Structure 1
Amino acid sequence: MDERINDHSIRNFVLKPTNLKILKTLLKDKTTQKNIVWTTNEYSPYGSDYVAGKEITPSSVSNLPQLLFDQLIQPRLLKPEKFKLQRTREMAEVFTPSWVCNLQNNIVDNDWFGRKNVFNQMSGKTWKTVSDPISFPSDPHKSWKKYVDSRRLEITCGEAPYLTSRYDVVTGKSIAIRERIGTLDRKLRVVNENTENELDWFQWAKRAYQSTYGYEYQGDSLLIARINLLLTFAEDLKFRWHRKATVQEMGEIANIISWNIWQMDGRDDTVPYGKAKPDFYQISFDELFSNTVNAELTVKLPCRIMNWRAQRSAELSLIKEMNMPFADKTDCKGRKANMKFDVIIGNPPYQEETESDSTRKPPIYNFFMEQAYKIGNVVELITPARFLFNAGYTPKAWNEKMLNDPHFKVMYYEPDCTKVFPNTDIKGGIVISYRDTRKDFGAIGTFMKYPELNKILYKIKANSEGFLDGIIAVPLSYHLSDLMKNEHPDMLNRLRTSAFTNLADIFFEAIPKDGKKYIGMVGLLNGKRIIRYVRKDYIEDTSGTLNKWTLLMPEASGKGEFGEILGSSMLCKPGIGFTQTFIGIGKFDNEEEAKNVGKYVKTKFVRSMVGTLKVTQHNHKATWKNVPLQDFTNKSDIDWTKSISDIDQQLYKKYGFDEKEINFIETKVKGME
């Protein structure tokens, strides 16, 4: 796997005159009966034929100057850097290294075969191919033919690295046929080893293609994926039978590919910019006289996929309705659409790209996961891992549903995403999740980064009556009162960190001598903690902390790495509130208890439990729910007068930690004094 991919292979295929008919087939959209479209404006400076909604035609790709061709119809790794960056920014593309594709495909096959290392054995990010012919289980439902026929779909497939691995889409290294790891590569290997003549080989090779699916939004990536699958056929045929594929053979395979590797907006299962030919789709009377500007142009055309065993196509959306099997649905002509995917695999988009400059991009990978669960028996996807800790911006209800789904489990977790996707920052790490509707793995409940934490948390929960999150005041505990809003209607409607600047007319450096009652508010100004004074009747305290001693902690601290040092705390005395920069722990009658909490949060014991849920910079209330509540008075079973390291030892003893568990915390968690 040392040679670079031959960057002329795709160009040579497109430019070869004898391939024109095949190219026309590969550009076909079977749903619209027209051609696939560009779906991006990044090439629009080169002419009106290259705008997003324009069809890709043989002439629009074959008549290009060589330099321009290399910029458009090339694997992403060979494109100019400006196009790579633009695609990553606008389309949320994160390309998957071959070793990750291999890992995921191996996980699926481990389950299918009931054993590991069927096709290859991984060692880190490399692998060694099994040289012996693939042996199959004695179960008749696990024969080589059943394996070839298993329907497998790669979602948002890009250049289809999970299906065929002619090259590594990240490094550019070409991969020899015997070393390839894609779903289709594996099926073709099985066909190679189990057929004895060219006729049988071709029939089963076709079946391998008929049971291999993928969809993609980007037109150029889709075309490359289709060409990759077709060239894989030609290369495998030459490898097995030492001859070139005929035009007829290539045409048959190209037709299957144009059905099975289709263009789709995965958010609604429709054709991008899709509108059928008049004889294929008619606008309804209601649509024609709707309130839209142009009813015809707003038609969203559902994508159709082919069931090769039944020799008919049906709308993909049918199998998603009401989350029921495809076999229970009928198509537009009342025929049953008997099909469901055996395996769905891939690397979906992670976040919605918006026009806003905000760093908060709404996640969408959870949507793609849900859609995949509706149409696949087995679904294995690589995504951000924040939801496993009930963190991030995925819906909390969805996070909890996944953590309590008995059909769902984690196969691989990496807290440092750069080890998987270099130069990519994904807070909370990366997870390969696996869901099988036919198996009960038991609910995850609480996901742990390290197995050692499961037993530790069990001991803590078994010996605790309450947890620290129960005494934490959230950042928005203090609000501007209705009186303040009535007297100053032009000002902000809630208390923010920027209030010290934006509301300087009511926040003062010193208490004014105007006869009014004032309170202090802790906040940030130019990155420094300061106190400003505001009229007491201008502020509403919803936490009950204003007249108590409270320990303030920054709401944002660190990166979410396990065992990291938390931001410095601050004692907040009675008469002082805080802005949303902080959370407040406790409401105590005396300073000593607040100081003891300050010691407690610095212990390795506490920060190990915070680390079970804190996977981003945010230090919100929910990240503290695994930290047991203590008695912070002088009557406590913990001697708070001791050093922090000594308090740790007391806590280990209190919860019955063994030597191995103590050593884990001591080595994984950084010290604080």
Structure 2
Amino acid sequence: MIDQAGFSLRGRNPDVLTCIANLSNDEVFTPPEFANRMLDTLAETWAARHEGAIIWADPSAKFLDPFTKSGVFLREITKRLIAGLADEIPDLQERVDHILINQVFGIGITRLTSLLARRSLYCSKHANGEHSVAQNLESDEGNIWFERTEHSWENAKCSFCGAPRALFDREDQLENYAYAFIHTNQIKARIGELFGADMQFDVIIGNPPYQMTGGAGGTSDSSIYHLFVQQAFNLEPRFVSMVVPSRWMAGGRGLDEFRAEMLNSGHIRSLTDFPDSSTAFPGVQIKGGICYFLWDRDHEGSCEVTRIAEGVEYIQKGRMLGEFDVFIRDERALGILRKVIAKKEPSILDLISGDTPFGIATNFRDWDEKPRAGKIPLHLINKSKRSVGYMDRAGVRKNVTALDVWKVLVPKAYGAGESFPHQILGKEIVAPPPSACTQTYLVVSPFASEREAQSFASYYRTRLFRFLVSLRKITQDALRSTYSWVPAQSWDTTWTDELLYDKYGITDEEIAFIDSMIRPMAGGND
């Protein structure tokens, strides 16, 4: 057979899979070191479940990467099985054939990546070709399947993945990104069609595509990685391990049910979190970071959480993921939140408006630059700068009563890069009556006087206020729900962090942590 170097790279040669450029921030090639870390976590848990048994020495264990790109997971699994099954199947060629025919399976996400994966696993783009390390595979694709799958269009979008028809209803020569694994309601039957009727996988592992573009970028894009995770659960394997964006922990459009399942099922046995994605994927910035988890079908209970920041691992044993409706990533933050919540004070949510508080979109243009009789001030963004225009009062058809009260306008979105300390929120505007704003802002109201509004503004600028918001704000968007853990105060005081730290019993060590995360903030009207 071909030299075993195909499975055990010589030390003097770089691993080609470390040299491939990513397709995009949403289709990221997994570094081999990262894939092996996930496999180590799997092996440790398998041993704990099977009285110390080694998963790589089990000739019956079946593995599936249902969205393979470079083939790194399949390759690294195969390398481990070749070593682990040496005693069970002494003949190398027989061992390799057994593994590649019976144990390791993949589904390509595009034609290109299916070819890459076959080259990584079989050392040939033709699984049954003369250069393949496998001698008894019958088909050209081997156990890495790919065929073009079509979207299921309904009301201009795919009913499975939400892809916009205008962008992805393409001719056959172009990729349409209809990923086969999630374009079916009968995944067990579909897998049977692809690989055989009696397929029952022990492990489903990989790095799924992260989102489907809506064409405008940013918040117009919809996450799809959770669809792959849920489909893997539907196959009922023993274990599922995937690397996904961490934004599911606290936010993300359409992720509420997924987050609830992840936090409350009790099946997540371990969770490893990288708040800075470049720590795990060099050169790749994914807002909110990335994480990988190990889902254990037979586990019900607490989770071991590992947070990795600046090369240091912080391990939290026995975390109950479902303690709150979102996940608190940092164990130091958890202690501070518990102190605040222990007061059982109402939150400020009743004061915070929803998105587009006056029904005026960000791109609204029917306003004047100078005041005119019958027109009211409109706070907006013009040419990337905060501005005030003037519009007809009659043009406001939503939350009309909020026009004539003192209010505080807070930016709906604020991005501050990836380094700490963050500001977390954009500067506020104390707005007298009458006044309105575009979708750029949320409205905090009503306040009976300027003094009350200024009191809230002082509270908003404190580090503790913004720290509590940061626990629910994992991307640039600061929608109403991100304020859920901020308790209401009396609006007759100029609030400072010193007053708040004393009220909630925040220790010097906790204050130092907050200071390391949140930077000071000057007044919004300055």
> TM class, shorter-chain normalised?
0.7 to 0.9
Shift in Å at residue 212 of structure 1? 1.1
Shift in Å at residue 666 of structure 1? 2.6
Rounded to whole Å, the distance in 1 between the matches of 2:485 and 2:270 is 21
Q: Aligned residue for 1:530?
A: 387
Shift in Å at residue 342 of structure 1? 1.0
Structure 2 residue runs without a partner (length 5+): 1-9, 153-177, 302-319
Retained in 2: the 8 A contact 1:149–1:207?
no
User: TM-score, length-normalised on structure 1?
Assistant: 0.61
Retained in 2: the 8 A contact 1:155–1:216?
yes
Alignment partner of 1:154 out of 60, 65, 76: 65
Aligned CA distance change for structure 1 residues 658 and 267 (closer, same or farther; 3 Å): farther
Deviations 1:166-223 (A, max 9, x none): xxxxxxxxxxxxxxxx11111111122x25843xx55444332211111113334323
Give 3-state SS (helix, strand or coil) of 1:149's partner: coil
1:654 matches 2:515? no
Aligned CA distance change for structure 1 residues 102 and 574 (closer, same or farther; 3 Å): same
Q: Aligned residue for 1:217?
A: 109
Rounded to whole Å, the distance in 1 between the matches of 2:395 and 2:355 is 18
> How do 1:233-382 residues align onto structure 2 when only pairs under 5 Å count?
250=133, 252-255=135-138, 258-264=141-147, 319-320=187-188, 337-353=197-213, 356-359=215-218, 360-375=220-235, 376-382=237-243
Aligned CA distance change for structure 1 residues 414 and 250 (closer, same or farther; 3 Å): closer
Rounded to whole Å, the distance in 2 between the matches of 1:585 and 1:510 is 24
Deviations 1:476-533 (A, max 9, x none): 1213xxxxxxxxxxxxxxx22332xx314xx462123xxxx44322222223333333
Q: Aligned residue for 1:553?
A: 410
Rounded to whole Å, the distance in 2 between the matches of 1:248 and 1:524 is 61
Aligned CA distance change for structure 1 residues 471 and 149 (closer, same or farther; 3 Å): same
Give 3-state SS (helix, strand or coil) of 1:206's partner: helix
1:384 matches 2:245? yes
Deviations 1:545-564 (A, max 9, x none): 22211111111212375651
Rounded to whole Å, the distance in 1 between the matches of 2:245 and 2:179 is 29
Aligned CA distance change for structure 1 residues 357 and 622 (closer, same or farther; 3 Å): closer
Aligned CA distance change for structure 1 residues 420 and 253 (closer, same or farther; 3 Å): farther
Retained in 2: the 8 A contact 1:520–1:575?
yes
Alignment partner of 1:460 out of 313, 335, 340: 340
Aligned CA distance change for structure 1 residues 659 and 303 (closer, same or farther; 3 Å): closer
Rounded to whole Å, the distance in 2 between the matches of 1:6 and 1:560 is 31
Give 3-state SS (helix, strand or coil) of 1:618's partner: coil
Residue type of the alignment partner of 1:498: N
> How do 1:62-81 residues align onto structure 2 when only pairs under 5 Å count?
77=19
Alignment partner of 1:503 out of 344, 362, 366: 366
1:569 matches 2:418? no
Residue type of the alignment partner of 1:113: A
Alignment partner of 1:438 out of 278, 298, 305: 298
**Higher relative helix content:** 1
Give 3-state SS (helix, strand or coil) of 2:391's partner: strand
Rounded to whole Å, the distance in 2 between the matches of 1:451 and 1:438 is 26
Retained in 2: the 8 A contact 1:405–1:443?
no
Shift in Å at residue 469 of structure 1? 2.4
Retained in 1: the 8 A contact 2:412–2:442?
yes
Alignment partner of 1:191 out of 85, 95, 100: 85
Aligned CA distance change for structure 1 residues 564 and 409 (closer, same or farther; 3 Å): farther
Q: May I ask how many residue pairs the two structures share in their alignment?
A: 457
Deviations 1:387-411 (A, max 9, x none): 1112x33343333333333223652
Alignment partner of 1:472 out of 352, 355, 372: 352
- 356-365 vs 470-479, which deviates more? 356-365
Rounded to whole Å, the distance in 2 between the matches of 1:534 and 1:249 is 71
Give 3-state SS (helix, strand or coil) of 1:567's partner: coil
Give 3-state SS (helix, strand or coil) of 1:397's partner: helix
Retained in 2: the 8 A contact 1:465–1:629?
yes
> How do 1:78-227 residues align onto structure 2 when only pairs under 5 Å count?
87-88=23-24, 92-114=26-48, 138=51, 142=53, 147-164=58-75, 182-192=76-86, 194-195=87-88, 197-198=90-91, 201-209=92-100, 210-227=102-119
Structure 1 residue runs without a partner (length 5+): 8-74, 79-83, 116-136, 165-181, 233-245, 270-300, 305-314, 480-494, 635-639
Q: Aligned residue for 2:260?
A: 400
Retained in 1: the 8 A contact 2:421–2:517?
yes
The percent of aligned pairs where both chains have the same amino acid is 24
Rounded to whole Å, the distance in 2 between the matches of 1:580 and 1:428 is 23
Residue type of the alignment partner of 1:347: N
Give 3-state SS (helix, strand or coil) of 1:473's partner: coil
RMSD: 3.6
Give 3-state SS (helix, strand or coil) of 2:409's partner: strand
